[in-house]
Amino acid sequence: MHPLFTPFRAGDIALANRVVMAPLTRNRALPGQLPGPLQVEYYRQRASAGLIVTEASQISPEGQGYLDTPGIHNDAQVAGWRRVTEAVHAAGGRIVIQLWHVGRISHVSLQPGGQSPVSSTARAAATKTFTKKGFEPVSAPRALRSDELPRIVADYRHAARQAMAAGFDGVEVHGANGYLLEQFLRDSVNDRSDAYGGPIANRARLMVEAVQAVCEEIGAARTGLRLSPVTPANDAGQDSDPQALYGHVVERLAPLKLAYLHLIEGATGGDRNVAPFDYAALRAVYKRAHPAGAWMVNNGYDAAMARAVVERGEADLVAFGRPFIANPDLVRRLRENAPWNALRRETLYGGDAAGYTDYPALPDTVPA
């Protein structure tokens, strides 16, 4: 058996194989930002993944930035997610929820009381989001005061507690793709002059505090973190020294002994070589402090690349995004080198069962 299909332990989470379903925003939550029966079926269909990372889910009403994304802050949301975790567990799978605060990637129509989105900066991102009216430019943010940041950290902690109440195997903190934590990290966005701006240690402070709080709440062995050191997604720009910045983050967080680190290599969903970055060097920083810590890679992997990276010992886990949308039985297809269903892009964001739960699995028996 190829190692890609062998069991693996990420912290306290025992996986049947090394194939991970990456977090994927699908904008199909019910009113109240609730997962419903359609989400139960969608995730159940994909439970042969070694691990499912759910779609990004806001930690607070303020953390929402797109129409119809689910939350994990109130008890109705916990009850909805409980049906999802029960279905995945009954099918033999493991599932963690991605904890999300969008920061400035939002619109006043999606914010509580129509307030401005919040960020590390008052400068608006040059990007669009998806609202009731379709694609609209994001709203100008308000820069958070440093005395508000303990409340943001508490929201991460609370969401992690809610996740465990919903029966998740753990959580993944969304530290990637130009959202709040990355808006603090990068000097291309963060223009603060307080203890959360300026030198790398300051810009990393909110991410470190948020991850520490989550680890205190549910245990580091059930906590993962997703990073995207050079993605330009959501107008994040490029940090002036990503290698030093992300090296610092990993040096600070590896000693906590997280379940895994999840790396988006290159531009999210695009060019893997968008900007230079030495991922192997970052991995070495991580493994020095936490040899048993899992290293999860993502972005544009095909079957051959996934087999090779695990074979070479350069990654413990490989996450697939869009291939899992179109192929509920992706693990089997990888194992059997079977062809993949084509993705229907027009049903990615929003809508119903079409393009969500209607992608076919391979037939049980192959005709002779």
Nearer to ligand 8OZ, 279 or 349 (CB): 349
CB of 292 to ligand 8OZ, least distance (A): 27
Work out whether strand 13-15 and strand 8-10 pair parallel, antiparallel, or are unpaired: antiparallel
DSSP 365: S
Q: Which is nearer to ligand 8OZ, 219 or 321 (CB)?
A: 321
Quote the radius of gyration of the chain (alpha carbons, Å): 19
Residue 219 CB, shortest distance to ligand 8OZ, in Å, is 24
Q: Does 231 bind ligand 8OZ (CB under 6 A)?
A: no
Report d(CA 171, CA 18) in Å as an integer: 17
Long-range Cβ contacts of 39-43 (<8 Å, 24+ apart): 39/70, 39/80, 39/84, 40/83, 40/84, 40/87, 41/87, 41/353, 41/357, 42/356, 42/357, 43/84, 43/87, 43/88, 43/95
Nearer of residues 131 and 268 to ligand 8OZ, judged by Cβ:
268
Q: Is residue 268 near ligand 8OZ by the rule CB under 6 A? A: yes
Interface with ligand 8OZ includes 57 (CB under 6 A)?
Answer: no
Q: Which is nearer to ligand 8OZ, 48 or 298 (CB)?
A: 298
Q: Determine, following the binding rule CB under 6 A, whether residue 66 of this chain makes contact with ligand 8OZ.
A: yes
As given in the structure block, the two tokens for residue 284 are 């070495």
Residue 183 interacting with ligand 8OZ (CB under 6 A): no
Q: Does 324 bind ligand 8OZ (CB under 6 A)?
A: no
Catalytic residue among 43, 156, 179, 196: 179
Residues whose CB falls within 8 Å of the CB of residue 199, separated by 6 or more in sequence, listed in order: none
177 binds ligand 8OZ (CB under 6 A): yes
The least CB distance from residue 178 to ligand 8OZ, in Å, is 8
Check if 196 is active-site.
no
Distance CA 259, CA 273 (A): 27
25 makes contact with ligand 8OZ (CB under 6 A): yes
Q: Note whether 56 binds ligand 8OZ by CB under 6 A.
A: yes
Angle 37-45/75-90 helices, nearest 10 degrees?
A: 30
Alpha helices in 166-241 (DSSP H): 180-185, 200-203, 205-218
So which residues are the catalytic ones?
179
Contact residues toward ligand 8OZ (CB under 6 A) are: 25, 56, 66, 177, 233, 268
